[in-house]
Structure 1
Amino acid sequence: MLNRRTLFGAALASLALAGVAHAADDWKAQYPELTLAVIPAENASTTTDRYQPLTAYLSKELGVPVKLAVATDYAAVIEAQRAGNAQIAFYGPASYARAVLTGVETEPVAVSRHSNGLTGYYSVIYTLANGPYKSIDDLKGKKLALVDPNSTSGNNAPRFFLHRDGKDVDTFFGEAVFAGSHDNAVLALAQGTVDAAANSWNSEDDSNLTRMITKGVLKDADGNPMKKEDFRIVFKSDFLPEGPYSVLASLPADLKEKIKTAFLEMPEKDKAAFDGLSDGKDIEFAAISAADYQPVVEMVKFNDEQRKKGS
């Protein structure tokens, strides 16, 4: 039976719930729109196709528009977060480390878990399988395509692990050039403009190379489609943590938690968009913390010190 007391109690409860809802949405006044900046690991059109469904999903889950910004290089993502223009970012491990080392206050929230159960990958150096280079030692004095100065698998890891093995990238190879993206490095090798190329590698059937092959964009100098067997791995790094999705530390705590939850729930809530991020090779997003990247921070610092010694 309804009476004044129950009606009054219901009114108070409604006001309390409205207050909670209002408090939860307070951040929307400050952030009526969010931006996700991503590193250009692939060419611009492929990157856009891969990440646009993610921003559509985040827009739905967060209740505000999330726009995609595909950076021209890895440093651009760092600077976008430094300036506060990208509230969410997808980094490579080394570019995340560079951001932290240069004072960007950003917090990793999620990382991809691959079909092999691991939340990480390797750096490899490829040569052509029909070429004369069968080991890393065979590449002394030859031309190497790196990816980007802030790429993990495409620059920092090869420098760090080859130095550990007594090979300085800048003196061991005759020339080391930056291709700008993982795709471009592999294409340079395929077309014969370099002798070897650094790249990322998750497993035999999941790498940047296999994704290029799946999309039909990998062709040799004569325009013939290439397959995985046309390439030889002559160097493989130690295991590296996967690149994180990271949020600005200055964001409201409830917004940061909402973004993290959206990532962790994506495989169930929007499987098609999630599968599109890896061509169906990943199984989930896992939570991650800054401590997980401390070894990469140390690797980048070591490389910086070596560069200073050589300058």
Structure 2
Amino acid sequence: MITRRTILTGAAALAVSVSLAASTASAQDWKSKYPELTFAIVPAENASGVTERWTPFMAYLSKELSVKVNLRIANDYAAVIEGQRSGNIHIASYGSASFARARLTGVHTDAFANDINIDGSTGYYSVFFVKANGPYKSIDDVKGKNLGLVDPNSTSGNNVPRFELNKMGIPDAEGYFGKVVFTGSHENAMLALSQGTVDVAANQWTNDNDSTLQQMLTKGMLKNADGSAMKKDDFRIIHKSAPIINGPYAYNSDLPAELKAAIAKAFMDAPTKDKAAFDKLSDGQKKGFNPATTKDWDGTIELIKFVDSLRKKKAS
């Protein structure tokens, strides 16, 4: 007997079937348009270290998205920005400042996640390191000395350090220090400090166990003059910034909605679906991915505008 309930049940089942079919067709549409995706990152360490750290996560993403995800190690932050502008980079790991720069220059990019630290926080710091066996204990002590920065678009390695110096009454870093050099990466800045090329180096620091310095010490990359391995106690922090929001993972705004949703879901699922690949990214120092939106970095845009204004004042 055909009843009203039978009709309603059949209609509901048909609706679900149609919805699933449409969803499957939509997924097939973006997979045919994007048979491969490119994920870009600016290395905080040498290229081989980045490859070893990120390759398992690329394999995980490829499995979850059912399309190949290729890792691109960019030369600098500007290369990531331009790669997303051209559409050649689909997903990127940004620093907060480089993401703000991308947005300011019209790149169609949307943040969808950032890292959660092991203590549950979602921020880090920019610090000034010196060698502990030297006499320097404050920013006043390094006036006229050589400063090592990272990259013009680095958050903790250039923009926040300049902002912090300005708060201390030093609007012109080049005029205050004997020499200011861009080393090209966070690792290079610490190498320059350890080798005496610079007297003070700006870098990123979350806690004593989560920083570029700690990663380099773990790998035995920093040596004393006699060739012995340097230790954490061989370095001193003479200034620490206010907290900085962890940089975002962002995808191209123009990607299909279904693809963007799949990328975000894969990130959120990573700590449980492939813990080994996830832990490899940070030596086990991150707890997971935090769902984020582009607006979370609006404050960083104001920071970039401020640093740009300092540069313009100096030029004039």
Percent identity, please: 56
- Confirm whether residue 303 of structure 1 aligns to residue 307 of structure 2: yes
1:106 is the counterpart of 2:109? yes
Aligned-partner residue type, residue 303 of structure 1: V
Counterpart residue number, 2:291: 287
Give 1:25 deviation, angstroms: 2.5
Q: Distance in 2 between matches of 1:85 and 1:13?
A: 36
SS at match of 1:277: helix
Measured in 2, the distance between the counterparts of 1:82 and 1:282 equals 29
- Give the drift of 1:213: 0.7
Residue of structure 2 equivalent to 1:224: 228
Q: Distance in 1 between matches of 2:131 and 2:15?
A: 72
Q: Give the alignment of 1:131-170 within 5 angstroms.
A: 131-167=134-170, 168-170=172-174
String of CA shifts for 1:241-265, please: whole Å, max 9, x gaps. Answer: 0011100000011111110111111
Please tell me whether the aligned partners of residues 97 and 296 of structure 1 are also in contact (alpha carbons under 8 angstroms).
Answer: yes
> What residue number does 1:32 align with?
35
2:290 matched to 1:277?
A: no
Q: Give the equivalent residue in structure 1 for 2:3.
A: none
One-letter amino acid of the structure 2 residue matched with residue 280 of structure 1: G
Instruction: Tell me the TM-score normalized by structure 1.
Output: 0.94
Unaligned segments of structure 1, at least 5 residues: none
1:72 to 72, 75, 82: 75
Q: Is the 8 A contact 1:146 1:197 kept in 2?
A: yes
* Structure 1 residue 17: Cα displacement: 3.6
- How far apart are residue 165 of structure 1 and its match? 1.4
TM-superposed CA distance for 1:19, in Å, is 3.7
- Cross-structure match for 1:193: 197
Alpha-carbon distance between aligned partners in 2 of 1:222 and 1:37, rounded to the nearest angstrom: 38
Distance in 2 between residues matched to 1:249 and 1:100, nearest whole Å: 11
For 1:12 and 1:124, the matched residues in 2 are separated by 57
User: Superposition RMSD on alpha carbons, in Å?
Assistant: 1.8
Q: Secondary structure at the match of 2:247?
A: coil
TM-aligned CA distance change 1:195 to 1:13, over 3 Å: closer
Aligned length: 306
Q: What residue in structure 2 maps to residue 265 of structure 1?
A: 269
Q: Deviations over 1:191-246 (max 9, x none)?
A: 11110110000012211111111111122333221111100001111100001110
Shift of 1:119: 0.7
Shift of 1:20: 3.0
Cα distance in 2 between the residues matched to 1:18 and 1:290:
32
Q: Which residue of 2 aligns with 1:249?
A: 253
Taking the aligned partners of 2:224 and 2:70, their CA distance within structure 1 comes to 36
Name the amino acid aligned to 1:70: I
Q: Which TM-score applies when normalising by structure 2?
A: 0.93
Offset, 1:104: 0.4
1:190–1:221: 8 Å Cα contact kept in structure 2? no
Aligned-partner residue type, residue 152 of structure 1: T
